Structure 1
Amino acid sequence: MRELILLRHAETEELCSGESDRDRQLTEHGRAEAIEAGKWLADHKLSIDRVLCSPAKRTRQTAELALPNLPITEALEIYDATPGTLFTLIDQHQDAITLVLVGHNPGIEQLVALLVEGRSEDYRGMPPGALARLRVAAGPLEPGSATLEAFWSP
């Protein structure tokens, strides 16, 4: 893998009593955020060859709006994942040239810190709908082996 794009789901509705967290949907504002993230990706003419997405409704909606013409693979491991779990998942997809992972905080923002800085504790900085574009060093995936090429937030 040469490039990794980490996309946090866009703004969601509040959790209602009796509703499952996995069933929360995007707000109208969140739908607009996801579309804007897709425009950013299109403007940068990235050749994305794989999209992994949490099974939660809000991440699926974000992926479908941001990446409308790409096949999306649900990955159960992404929902409520630690940076270590996400790291392992990404490592299993080293054959992808450009991989997009659509998920949740705090795992997504902590993964950015782990890959770029080599540590993941208490990192904050991925608002809803934000994405981080990382350049991954050749060789095995290691903490601190990526460079933050771009960060975009709606």
Structure 2
Amino acid sequence: MTVRTLILLRHAKAADPDDYATDIERPLSPRGRRDASAAGTWLHSEGLVPDAVLCSTAVRTRETLQELGLETVPVVFEQRIYHGPAPDTLDLVRQTDADVSTLLVIGHNPTLSVLSDLLAPDELPDNGLATAGIAVHRFGGTWRDLDRAALSAQHTARG
């Protein structure tokens, strides 16, 4: 049975929302750039280099991705990650190609924290993923089977 790894990464710290006309336009703050870079260093040190990335269309998620050092990894920018609730994001994950063993999803709260909790209940702190926080879920089976496979998911978190 193939082991799959799903990495959920909440975008790093964003600039003050009052400075931007719309939420989707908010870039990373200087701290956010440093934190995103540190998240990339951690992913590489743990051997968690994804085969593919699903990323929200928001500026801050795109900038988080830029800081990770994953220039050669294929990326799909998906508006549904910005707008959607956790079940919609899970549906996107379940559509991942079978040849992808490790998938990174870069998105927002509460969606990613709720999704992580669906996959591994009670593993995250009560306040969910912090900015630049990472939850790693490993499971056997296919991406399509993730909801059933999640019952035996192994979970680790950073930040």
Structure 1 unpaired stretches of 5+: none
Q: C-alpha distance in 2, partners of 1:124/1:55?
A: 24
Match of 2:76 among 73, 76, 79: 73
Q: C-alpha distance in 1, partners of 2:81/2:116?
A: 14
TM-score (norm 1): 0.88
Identify the structure with the greater helix proportion.
2
Say which SS state the counterpart of residue 16 (structure 1) adopts: helix
Q: C-alpha distance in 1, partners of 2:81/2:111?
A: 8
Q: C-alpha distance in 1, partners of 2:152/2:50?
A: 18
1:101-128 CA-partner distances (Å, limit 9, x unpaired): 000000000000011139xxxx632010
1:42 maps to which residue?
44
Between 132-141 and 20-29, the greater mean CA deviation after superposition: 132-141
Q: What is the number of equivalent residue pairs in this alignment?
A: 149
1:114 maps to which residue?
118
Say which SS state the counterpart of residue 146 (structure 2) adopts: coil
Task: Tell me by how many angstroms 1:146 deviates.
Answer: 5.1
CA RMSD between the two structures:
1.9
Relative distance call for 1:149 and 1:75 in structure 2 (3 A) is same
Task: Tell me by how many angstroms 1:15 deviates.
Answer: 1.1
Between 127-136 and 65-74, the greater mean CA deviation after superposition: 65-74
Q: C-alpha distance in 1, partners of 2:19/2:66?
A: 27
2:102 maps to which residue?
98
Q: C-alpha distance in 1, partners of 2:30/2:21?
A: 19
Identical residues among aligned pairs (%): 32
2:137 maps to which residue?
134
Q: C-alpha distance in 2, partners of 1:18/1:78?
A: 20
Say which SS state the counterpart of residue 57 (structure 2) adopts: coil
* Conserved 8 A contact 2:5-2:101: yes
TM-score (norm 2): 0.85
Match of 1:124 among 105, 127, 135: 127
1:47-99 CA-partner distances (Å, limit 9, x unpaired): 41100100000000001111432332201110032111011011001522100
Task: Tell me by how many angstroms 1:17 deviates.
Answer: 5.9
